C-alpha cells in the first residue's frame, strides 16, 4: 500500500481553506443584501400623526391572501421590507396578517384605511420603493349607542288626536348615499303617547334621526338631534 504524498506546506495551505470559503460566503451574502430591493412606507392617522405598532404584510402578488413577511411600524410610523428579490410583483397590505398571533397584538382592528393594499412590481435589485402612506381612521360605525325615545322626542304628538284616528309613527336613519332608502328603526301605531317607549340602537356616527307621523288626514315630520352625552 502506497503512502499518500502531501507537499510539505500542505497542512498550512489546507488548514486555511474553510476560513477562505467562509469569507467568500459572507462576502457574497453582504453583496446580495447590499444590492437587494427594498420596499418601505409609513402608517399615519388622518391628521398625519404616525401610528405605532401597525402590522404590515408583504406577499408575492401571485399568492393572494398570503402573508410572507410581517413588519410592525416603529414610533415614527415607518416600516421596511429589505432584501427582496427582483423580478417579483409584491402586495403590501396593512393589517394583512390574519394569524392568531398577530391578531392577539392588533390594536387597530377597528380602523378603516386609505391605500389599504398596494401592488409593487420590483424590476431591479437596486430598487428602493417608498409606498403611499397607509392612512387609518377609527371606525365608529362598529359601535352602537342605545336610545330610548319617548313622547318628549315627538312634540307634535301633543296636538294629535290619537283616539279619533289611527296614527302611525315611523323613526328612521336617513341614508348618506343618494338614491338609497332610509333605515327604519321603528314603525307602528301610537295609541297612547304617555306610554310610548321605543328602544333603539344606532351607530355612533349618526347624530340625527328622522321621523314621520301620519294618518288618513295628517302627515307630520321632524327630526331628533342625538348628542354624545
Kindly report the CATH number assigned to the domain that includes residue 158: 2.60.40
Give the residue among 44, 226, 86 at the shortest CA–CA distance from 148.
226
Spacing of C-alpha 211 from chain mean position: 34
DSSP conformational letter for 50 = B
21 lies in a domain?
Answer: no
Domain boundary among 138, 171, 200: 138
If asked whether residues 108 and 161 sit together in one domain, one would say: no
- Assign 32 a pLDDT band (cuts: 50, 70, 90): very low
Domain that holds residue 47: 37-138
Strand order of the β-sheet with 55-60 is: 69-72, 55-60, 88-94, 117-122
What is the tens place of the pLDDT at every residue in 63-119? 766 789 999 999 999 999 999 999 999 999 998 777 777 776 677 878 889 989 999
Q: How many domains does the chain have?
A: 2
Q: Is residue 29 part of a domain?
A: no
Does residue 41 sit in the same domain as residue 126?
Answer: yes
Question: Is 19 among the domain residues?
Answer: no
How many whole angstroms separate alpha carbon 115 and alpha carbon 43? Answer: 10
In a domain, 8, yes or no: no
- Look up the pTM and report it: 0.52
**Are 48 and 130 contained in the same domain?**
yes
Mean pLDDT, rounded, for 183-190? 93
Q: What was the pLDDT predicted at 29?
A: 47
Final residue belonging to a domain, choices 78, 107, 138: 138
Residues 48 and 134 in one domain: yes
Domain annotation covers residue 148: yes
Amino acid at each position: 500500500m502506497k503512502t499518500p504524498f502531501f507537499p510539505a506546506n500542505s497542512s498550512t495551505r489546507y488548514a486555511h481553506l474553510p476560513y477562505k470559503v467562509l469569507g467568500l460566503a459572507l462576502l457574497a451574502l453582504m453583496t446580495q443584501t447590499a444590492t437587494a430591493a427594498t420596499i418601505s412606507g409609513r402608517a399615519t392617522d388622518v391628521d398625519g400623526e404616525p401610528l405605532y405598532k401597525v402590522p404590515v404584510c408583504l406577499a408575492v402578488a401571485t399568492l393572494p391572501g398570503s402573508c410572507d413577511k410581517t413588519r410592525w411600524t416603529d414610533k415614527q410610523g415607518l416600516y421596511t421590507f429589505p432584501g427582496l428579490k427582483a423580478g417579483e410583483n409584491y402586495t403590501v397590505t396593512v393589517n394583512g396578517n390574519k394569524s392568531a398571533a398577530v391578531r392577539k397584538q392588533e390594536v387597530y382592528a377597528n380602523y378603516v384605511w386609505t391605500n389599504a393594499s398596494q401592488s409593487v412590481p420590483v424590476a431591479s435589485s437596486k430598487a428602493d420603493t417608498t409606498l403611499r402612506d397607509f392612512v387609518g381612521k377609527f371606525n365608529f360605525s362598529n359601535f352602537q349607542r342605545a336610545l330610548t325615545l319617548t313622547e318628549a322626542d315627538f312634540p307634535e304628538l301633543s296636538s294629535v288626536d290619537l283616539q279619533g284616528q289611527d296614527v302611525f309613527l315611523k323613526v328612521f336613519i336617513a341614508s348618506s348615499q343618494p338614491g338609497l332608502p332610509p333605515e327604519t328603526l321603528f314603525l307602528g301605531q301610537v295609541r297612547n303617547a304617555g306610554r310610548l317607549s321605543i328602544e333603539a340602537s344606532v351607530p355612533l356616527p349618526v347624530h340625527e334621526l328622522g321621523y314621520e307621523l301620519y294618518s288618513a288626514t295628517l302627515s307630520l315630520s321632524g327630526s331628533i338631534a342625538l348628542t354624545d352625552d
